[in-house]
Amino acid sequence: MRSEDLVVMGFVRGAFGVKGWLKVQADTEYADGLFDYPVWWLGKENDWKPYTFENGALQPKALAAKLEGVEDRDAAEVLRGMQIAVPRAELPAAEEGEYYWADLIGLEVVNQQGEVLGKVSELMETGAHDLLVVQGADAQRMIPFVDQYVLEVQLAEGKIQVDWGLDY
């Protein structure tokens, strides 16, 4: 499976118990949304390996998950830090005005004056709203992902139009 065919949905925080369960941080709308996918791809960059999802439980600060072939704590610890991805083809289509975070990474961010602020390097979830982290040549900016500041997302053009100044 190629990296561009996968969407990262979380990562392995470490082992959970002694029977091969993983502690998982999910980056999904609903914490247990990863449980909907029968095969998880674990890895980094261009090195991915499929694992069959066996069982899962919602914990107070993370998910606990059991994957086929991961039978003890040592095997689970080996997977610490691995990203968890699912095939893009298995994701439901995004509704009008909604976007998968993975689709926003790398988009160019331009303000109303036509000034390029940089490219989206990541998104962050906060208690109030999500933030676009924009890496520019001169600075890193955090722009709230709300209608007041994010005016238009143009996926096909690879651009996000914002109401944000260079000096903010």
Q: What is the largest CA-CA distance in the chain?
A: 57
DSSP state at residue 77: H
State mean pLDDT over 7-33. 92
pLDDT value at position 61?
83
Say how many C-beta atoms besides its own lie within 10 A of residue 136's C-beta.
15
State mean pLDDT over 63-75. 97
- Written as one letter, the residue type at 52 is T
pTM for the predicted model, two decimal places? 0.76
State mean pLDDT over 17-22. 97
CA distances from 163 to 116, 143, 146, 156 (A): 12, 9, 11, 20
Q: What is the C-alpha separation between 99 and 9, in angstroms, rounded?
A: 14
Lowest mean pLDDT of 1-10, 35-44, 132-141, name the range.
1-10
DSSP state at residue 128: S
Residue 155 makes CB contacts below 8 A (sequence gap 6+) with: 99, 103, 107
Confidence bin at 38 (pLDDT 50/70/90): very high
- Written as one letter, the residue type at 88 is R
pLDDT value at position 29?
79
- Written as one letter, the residue type at 112 is Q
Predicted confidence (pLDDT) per residue in 104-160, tens digit: 999 999 999 999 999 999 998 887 889 999 999 889 999 999 999 999 999 999 999
pLDDT value at position 28?
83
pLDDT value at position 149?
97
- Written as one letter, the residue type at 103 is D
Q: What is the C-alpha separation between 150 and 144, in angstroms, rounded?
A: 8
